[in-house]
Amino acid sequence: MSDYFHYRGNQLYAEQVSLTDIAARFGTPCYVYSRAALTESFRQFTQALQGHEHLICYAVKANSSLAVLNVFARLGAGFDIVSGGELQRVLAAGGDARKVVFSGVGKSAAEMHLALDAGILCFNVESAAELECLNDVAGNMSKVAPLSLRVNPDVDAKTHPYISTGLKQSKFGVAYGEAVALYRRARDLPHLRIVGVDCHIGSQLTEVGPFIAAAEKILALVDTLASEGIRLEHIDLGGGLGIRYREETPPAIADYVAALLRALRGRGEKLILEPGRALVGNAGVLLTLVEYLKYGEEKNFAIIDAAMNDLMRPTLYDAYHEILPVRREPSPQSSPASGRGGEREMQSLIYEIVGPVCETGDFLGHARNLAIAPQSLLAVLSAGAYGMSMSSNYNTRPRAAEVMVDGDAVYPVRERETVAQLYAGEKLLP
């Protein structure tokens, strides 16, 4: 648990605000973010990068809520986007287009147009075909598009296969062996300007080794390009630094950055990083209410009001998120009221934590030992990254509300969706 979500007595707080109060004011399910936690993780990156020219481009996909983007924009962050939609969010949140890098294997001509119009820092081009398309789009607009090639260093990130991106068989990036030829091609195209190189090998990495292996290969490529007179302004080493969900021991941000800087050995190119999860993952929790308890022959179920549509990671990756009661049961010794009928004692039992969605895969946690009753509140931890941004409306469930805590203040930053909004664009047959 991050320092910004903590028990005070037996009550779980976000910064100075009790989660019970938040649930009473804003309802559940509700994502709760800590502004201080967001700020602190960003500060750790900038502090570690001090003395080396750098840009931290927050990976918008991890959490694209405007308030989150706005917090980072105010801190001077750049942004890594993967769609025109994300670009529009960044601009709506006060982000600076000149600090935006655009990744993704399938950028459409319309998205390229939008990004060129906005004046982004760089397109991270992922294929030969995309290179030609970008040159055409820029030409039609009488512009020159700044680009990096996203190079696939063929390094095993040693993470979940669904979130490994740097292996040969992955759809991402251009093959390492083809990179030099593609850079030559880019140099010869009239509406392109080479500015950098980019790689991203996967997400939720818990060791520094694969990052360094990828960096070494990228640096060797940078040297080869320099020998051909292709000089780069920046080196983008991607995102991917993991966080602690349970027992993982990812490197601290400072140690990860220090290792990257050592690998750079004092080179002058600007270093760009595209962290997502490491900036937001532990800065958010999903607050949810226990609707029913159901006792089965083999398993007990705690049926909560959040579901796989709100937080897809457990279903999709079998990911573990810690789940804590918002109100801890006082231990018998410490509670004079317990046993006297003043406070109802709750027995702790092992529960499957499941949602209302009609899928067997709709669970947020397996076999959790909790002392809870109907109407108890639970907090699903480490839900700041790839929680809300991957949520859906499956089962016609309006998406959760979001709030941002800042010290002792709470700001609603996204209203709970209404069902009417969900089908507003739909039509009956004539």
**Residue 233 · residue 198 · CB < 8 Å:** no
Structure tokens at 130: 């995309």
* The binder of ligand LLP chosen from 157, 163, 271, 388 (CB under 6 A): 163
DSSP state of 363: E
Residues 6+ apart with CB under 8 A from 193: 144, 145, 146, 147
Q: Is 376 in the site for ligand LLP (CB under 6 A)?
A: no
Identity of the residue, 141 or 316, whose beta carbon is nearer to ligand LLP in the bound complex: 316
Identity of the residue, 84 or 276, whose beta carbon is nearer to ligand LLP in the bound complex: 276
Identity of the residue, 59 or 69, whose beta carbon is nearer to ligand LLP in the bound complex: 59
| Nearest to 222, CA basis, from 273, 169, 153, 161 | 153
* The binder of ligand LLP chosen from 84, 239, 325, 365 (CB under 6 A): 239
Minimum CB–partner distance for residue 391 and ligand LLP (Å): 12
Span near ligand LLP by CB under 6 A; candidates 23-31, 196-204, 211-219, 340-348? 196-204
Minimum CB–partner distance for residue 43 and ligand LLP (Å): 17
Q: Is 275 in the site for ligand LLP (CB under 6 A)?
A: yes
Identity of the residue, 280 or 370, whose beta carbon is nearer to ligand LLP in the bound complex: 280
The residues in 382-411 that bind ligand LLP, with binding defined as CB under 6 A, are 385-386, 390
Cβ neighbours around 369 below 10 Å, total: 8
Identity of the residue, 95 or 240, whose beta carbon is nearer to ligand LLP in the bound complex: 240
The residues in 303-322 that bind ligand LLP, with binding defined as CB under 6 A, are 313, 317
| Nearest to 158, CA basis, from 111, 206, 119 | 206
Q: Is 203 in the site for ligand LLP (CB under 6 A)?
A: yes
Instruction: Report the amino acid identity of residue 24.
Output: A
d(CA 115, CA 352): 45
* The binder of ligand LLP chosen from 89, 200, 234, 368 (CB under 6 A): 200
x-or-dash pattern for ligand LLP, window 22-61, by CB under 6 A?
-------------------------------------x--
DSSP tally for the chain: helices H, then strands E: 12, 21
Identity of the residue, 80 or 111, whose beta carbon is nearer to ligand LLP in the bound complex: 80
* Burial environment of residue 18 by CB neighbours within 10 A (0 to 12, 13 to 18, 19 or more): middle
The residues in 58-117 that bind ligand LLP, with binding defined as CB under 6 A, are 59, 62, 80, 103
d(CA 211, CA 213): 6
* The binder of ligand LLP chosen from 146, 210, 251, 276 (CB under 6 A): 276
Identity of the residue, 285 or 385, whose beta carbon is nearer to ligand LLP in the bound complex: 385
Please identify every residue annotated as catalytic.
Answer: 358
Give the interface size with ligand LLP as a residue count (CB under 6 A): 23
- φ, ψ at 247 (rounded to 5°): -115, 5
Cβ neighbours around 423 below 10 Å, total: 10
**Residue 198 · residue 101 · CB < 8 Å:** yes
Helical residues (DSSP H) of 193-338, grouped into ranges: 209-227, 253-264, 277-280, 313-317
Cβ neighbours around 375 below 10 Å, total: 9
Q: Kind and range of the H or E element at 140?
A: helix 128-140
- φ, ψ at 295 (rounded to 5°): -105, 120
x-or-dash pattern for ligand LLP, window 329-358, by CB under 6 A?
------------------------------
> Contact residues for ligand LLP (CB under 6 A)?
59, 62, 80, 103, 163, 165, 200, 203-204, 238-241, 274-278, 313, 317, 385-386, 390
